[in-house]
């Protein structure tokens, strides 16, 4: 069942997530990144809708942030991020020209396979 984005939620951070978050440093950010190469510029409202439906509603933690416990010895919690915006946080289009200038493929194909 999909979670409603308007319903505030909070849950304890699992031990695995706590370990992950404890490694987060300004010079070593613990983030999840996804890259898609598209043949043409999509309709960003369609992309936003798909991200909302298939990822954010299915896995609400992706629109939450960790909140440390105010009491020593109690676990931090995942809480809804009131400033979360799907388009600004989940989509950062990079112009094709950026890759043309900076990427050097190891072989003749883009995948690196002959």
Domain residues of the chain, as ranges? 10-102
34, burial (CB in 10 Å: exposed 0-12, middle 13-18, buried 19+): exposed
DSSP 97: H
For residues 87 and 56, give the distance between their C-alpha atoms in angstroms, rounded to a whole number: 12
Report yes or no on whether pTM surpasses 0.95.
no
pLDDT given at position 113: 44
User: What is the side-by-side order of every strand in the sheet holding 64-67?
Assistant: 10-12, 77-80, 64-67
Q: What percent of the chain has pLDDT over 70?
A: 68
Could you tell me the sign of the dihedral formed by the alpha carbons of 53, 11, 33, 82, in that order? positive
| Better-predicted residue by pLDDT, 65 or 114 | 65
pLDDT (tens digit per residue) in 59-102: 888 888 888 888 888 888 999 988 887 766 556 666 656 555 55
Question: Could you tell me where the DSSP H helices lie in 1-102?
Answer: 15-22, 44-51, 86-90, 96-102
């Amino acid at each position: 069942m999909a979670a409603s984005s308007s319903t505030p939620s909070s849950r304890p951070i699992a031990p695995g997530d706590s370990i992950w978050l404890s490694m987060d440093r300004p010079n070593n950010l613990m983030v999840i990144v996804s890259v898609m190469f598209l043949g043409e510029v999509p309709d960003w409202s369609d992309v936003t809708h798909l991200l909302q439906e298939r990822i954010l509603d299915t896995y609400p933690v992706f629109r939450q942030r960790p909140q440390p416990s105010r009491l020593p010895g109690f676990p931090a919690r995942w809480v809804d991020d009131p400033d979360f915006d799907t388009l600004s946080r989940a989509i950062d289009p990079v112009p094709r020209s950026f890759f043309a200038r900076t990427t050097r493929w190891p072989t003749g194909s883009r995948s690196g396979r002959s």
